[in-house]
């Protein structure tokens, strides 16, 4: 691994440090300066010449600042004669802007992918994109990781005899079905209509959930509005309690207050793709740093990244042995 150099933007340095710890390489220093006119400037403080550069930066609030910082870091690496530049974006925020569902509306997911390619990115490593088609927005190779196996490990230690996996909407139902197979559980889904960014209506629940403990699985929780609406509808259908799991726990606005105070929610489980709220000690956070470190090691060694998740779906072979780092 001596030919790689890893940098971190300011969005989630703790995750980058943990990834480097698993890789056995130091996290190289960089410096971001904000000028009086609000412009940013980035300087990479380690040699990049003819080395494979990896830049870790989830797109979390303030999202525009972190996106611009990432683009500037890519530009600095290209200008420093890096052999290749791979951006590790654990949370790709603009994946929610994935289609033209109104007149004269922007498609941010595609625009940001184009910006990254124009800046000089050779490869993107990300996790749990909001919609599968976002993968196709990129003109460079994308390694799309999943946290389903990590989240499933949390529940395997529990009594699941009366549990059911519930997706908040039909769009996430396929992923929820895969998660349910990992745990050997049935699956249900809510019929959701989104009225605004923080307002949804769930008409009904498809599946037999009466008298069961729900494991609600979503890809991302922002304000928590969808989850609370789903919990109210599940109560109508006879659900006694629920555990909530997601890959990207943004918990914006009143989300922490909403989820902590809901009487039917027994726990909330997420991963560290984004920084966890400082005021929520009960939140259970699963680390995905080993997955990203292993993906980087496989990319550097020219090995398959997708085979890292062979065991996530029981229809495939067991997980492959890890490469020595």
Q: Name the residues annotated as catalytic.
A: 192
> Residues near 80 by Cβ (< 8 Å), separated by ≥ 6?
44, 47, 48, 49
| 93 contacts 113 by C-beta, under 8 angstroms | no
Q: Which of 248, 277, 168 is nearest to 214 (CA)?
A: 168
The helices-and-strands tally (H runs, E runs) of the chain is: 8, 14
Per the DSSP assignment, residues forming a β-bridge with 270 are: 285
Dihedral pair phi/psi, residue 53, rounded to 5°: -100, 135
Write out the DSSP string of 114-153: HHHHHHT--EEEEE--SSGGGGGG-SS-EEEE--HHHHHH
Write out the DSSP string of 167-201: ESSGGGHHHHHHHHHHHT--EEEEEEEEEETTEEE
Cα–Cα distance, 227 to 167 (Å, whole number) = 10
- Residue indicated by tokens 């991963």: 271
Alpha helices in 224-319 (DSSP H): 225-236, 255-261, 289-301
């Amino acid at each position: 691994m001596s030919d790689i150099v890893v940098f971190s933007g300011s969005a989630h340095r703790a995750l980058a440090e943990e990834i480097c710890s698993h890789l056995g390489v130091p996290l190289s220093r960089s410096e971001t300066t904000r000028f009086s006119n609000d412009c940013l400037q980035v300087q990479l403080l380690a040699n990049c010449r003819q080395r494979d550069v990896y830049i870790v930066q989830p797109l979390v609030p303030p999202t525009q600042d972190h996106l611009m910082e990432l683009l500037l870091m890519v530009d600095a690496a290209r200008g420093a004669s890096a052999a290749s530049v791979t951006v590790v974006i654990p949370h790709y925020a603009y994946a929610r802007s994935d289609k033209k569902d109104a007149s004269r509306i922007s498609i941010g997911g595609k625009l940001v992918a184009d910006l990254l390619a124009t800046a000089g990115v050779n490869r993107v490593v990300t996790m749990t994109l909001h919609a599968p088609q976002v993968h196709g927005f990129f003109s460079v190779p994308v390694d799309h990781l999943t946290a389903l196996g990590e989240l499933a490990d949390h529940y395997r230690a529990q009594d699941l005899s009366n549990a059911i996996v519930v997706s908040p909407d039909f769009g996430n139902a396929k992923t929820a079905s895969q998660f349910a197979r990992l745990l050997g559980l049935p699956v249900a889904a809510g019929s959701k209509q989104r009225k605004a960014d923080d307002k949804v209506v769930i008409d009904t629940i498809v599946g037999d959930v009466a008298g069961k403990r729900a494991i609600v699985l979503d890809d991302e929780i922002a304000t928590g509005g969808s989850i609370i609406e789903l919990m109210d509808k599940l109560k109508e259908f006879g659900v006694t309690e629920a555990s909530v799991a997601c890959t990207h726990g943004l918990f914006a606005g009143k989300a922490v207050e909403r989820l902590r105070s809901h009487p039917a929610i027994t726990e909330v489980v997420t991963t560290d793709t984004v920084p966890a709220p400082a005021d929520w000690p009960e939140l259970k956070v699963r680390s995905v740093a080993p997955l990203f470190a292993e993906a980087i090691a496989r990319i550097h060694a020219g090995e398959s990244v997708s085979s890292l998740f062979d065991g996530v779906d029981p229809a495939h072979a067991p997980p492959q042995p890890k490469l020595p780092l």
